[in-house]
Structure 1
Amino acid sequence: MTLIKQIFLHADTETILSIPLSRRQPPDRLIWGYTLEGNFSVNSAYKVALSLASDTTSGSASNTQEQGLFWHTVWNHRIPNKVKTFTWKACQDILPTKVNLRCRQVLEDATCEACGLDPEATDHLLWDCQQPRETWELSGIPFDITGIRYRDFKDLLWYLIFTKHVDRDLLALIVTVAWCMWFNRNKTRLGSPRQPSHEILHKARLILEEFQLAHF
């Protein structure tokens, strides 16, 4: 206690001394608070740094006018409503991924079933995992889809809309491809075979073509 008082300021000392100690007295260990497992990774640290930075590659999302324009762009796409709803949920990070289900204590294991390596979070599912990376590369869509640049799906779309200024048709294809990845993941969890990347792309383009022929 004396050592703590010597090192820290009075307010910090009171906070430290108020922390309850475990009666089991387990051995001390370092925990990184920004991953589910408590383990430090360079990727997670980079994402934390991005979230704290006042200026990122995708620009600040705090401006009310830009926020309004962002959501106007999302909701006014020429895409099926199910894809719009998916896009909104992905931007809010409320898709029932295995990570989110584990946070709600629905699942115990959040490991991605496609790669068996990393937790199945939204960013992993839509661009970090091997199959989505292959899908985006096969699509020929001209932007860098490596996950380390983007904090989340909203940050990705924000970057595409306000920094890359992609046109509406390309943006519609991107979110529809993402929906098809999510649909493929759900069908696979129910026992269907996993679709290869070229089938996912074909399905996305067909959905857009049929929707736009029927509505415009």
Structure 2
Amino acid sequence: MGNKRGVFSVKSAYYIALPIVENSEVGECSGGDSRICLWKQVWQLQLPAKVRIFAWRACLDGLPTRLNLAKKGLIVEAECPLYEKATESTSHAFIYCDKLCEVWWNWQGCPINLLAENLCLLDLALKILDAGSSADLETLFATAWAIWWAEPPPEIYKINVDGATAGIRSRSTVGVAIRDSRGVVVAAACIVLNGDYGATVTEAFAVDEGIRLAMEMELHQIIAESDSIGVVDDFNECNCNGEFGMVIQGSLELLRFFRSWKVRYLKRDYNRAAHELAHIAKTNGSSQQWKGMEPPMIRHVLLLELNVNSIFFALSFPFSVLYCMPIST
């Protein structure tokens, strides 16, 4: 396979492959492989080229989900960072993760029951094409693209918090890292509390300190993330009973001054920056704060977390926000 000089090139291979492909497409929709019809529809969708390429890769399971990265030996854990009971496959990352249910429930004109059974993205696209139209495929792939790539609105800030219990004759400490929609740190703190508290109480104080730092920064829309599921549940249920009820109550009073807020659970593996800051305070025995800059001693951790935060930040927003985001060409 080569040119007139007998030298191989991509161009020569293209001219050999082109008639083979064209011959295979004759009578394509009457054949047994329905995927050929799907590919033809995908390339003709009224979407930017980058979204069509994304759709093709997603259907072929060619995106770097945690499951695919684990298969290649690039990471150890394939579990979803937002819902640890499931593996982050392509279909889970775009459709079946519990954090995405609100997105797809708001697709009122969906031609199939999208969440009825756990199918791969290719099979879902084939079912939608069979029951609906190319416009439905555009909705599916444009929304999936927004989940994967689109940045959330710039006025939303994410607060990661963690606590460290005290040693002998020491005080508990907390760490706080606040990021913008790009995953860039805009403020951080490592704080020594005024007493020796249990693990859960310390985690509740960590959320409280994160909220207070956000108020100092005059931020108005926040998402606070903690790796203590008990504390997260109590915040979301406004439960002010129990050993840290007074902390929850005080935090809820502060949250009244924000335009929007959410407290959610995040696995410890994805909360390393706040974890490191809490332990720095524990080691040094003093509080520190950074505004408009990142703590230099944890820069390596922040770089590792940057991609994770930018990818999964978008999952905090409902369908109406995601789907109305412009897709630039």
Query: TM-score per shorter chain, which class?
Result: 0.5 to 0.7
Please point out which of 296, 310, 313 is paired with 1:194.
313
Structure 2 partner of 1:79: 47
Please point out which of 146, 162, 169 is paired with 2:135.
169
Does the CA-based 8 Å contact 2:150-2:325 persist in structure 1? Answer: no
Q: CA deviation at 1:207?
A: 2.8
Q: Which runs of 5+ in 1 are unaligned?
A: 1-61, 212-216
* Higher Cα Rg, which structure: 2
Is 1:180 matched with 2:146?
yes
CA distance in 1, matches of 2:134, 2:76: 40
Please point out which of 128, 147, 156 is paired with 1:160.
128
Using the size of structure 1 for normalisation, the TM-score is: 0.58
Q: Which runs of 5+ in 2 are unaligned?
A: 1-30, 152-181, 184-306
Q: CA deviation at 1:184?
A: 5.3
Structure 1 partner of 2:92: 124
Does the CA-based 8 Å contact 1:92-1:154 persist in structure 2? Answer: yes
Identity, in percent, stands at 22
Does the CA-based 8 Å contact 2:67-2:87 persist in structure 1? Answer: yes
CA distance in 1, matches of 2:109, 2:82: 23
Structure 2 partner of 1:4: none
CA distance in 2, matches of 1:191, 1:118: 19
Q: CA deviation at 1:174?
A: 1.4
Q: Could you list the per-position Cα deviations for residues 87-106 of structure 1 after superposition, in whole angstroms to 9, with x for gaps in the alignment?
A: 11111111100000000000
CA distance in 2, matches of 1:101, 1:149: 21
Q: CA deviation at 1:146?
A: 1.4
CA distance in 2, matches of 1:147, 1:125: 16
CA distance in 1, matches of 2:136, 2:35: 20
SS at structure 1 position matched to 2:117: helix
Using the size of structure 2 for normalisation, the TM-score is: 0.39
Count of aligned pairs between the two proteins? 143
SS at structure 2 position matched to 1:194: helix
Structure 2 partner of 1:31: none
Structure 1 partner of 2:117: 148
Please point out which of 104, 108, 118 is paired with 1:136.
104
Give the alignment's Cα RMSD to 1 decimal: 2.5
Q: Which has the higher strand share?
A: 2
Distance 1:147 1:127, change over 3 A: farther
Structure 2 partner of 1:107: 75
Does the CA-based 8 Å contact 2:78-2:88 persist in structure 1? Answer: yes
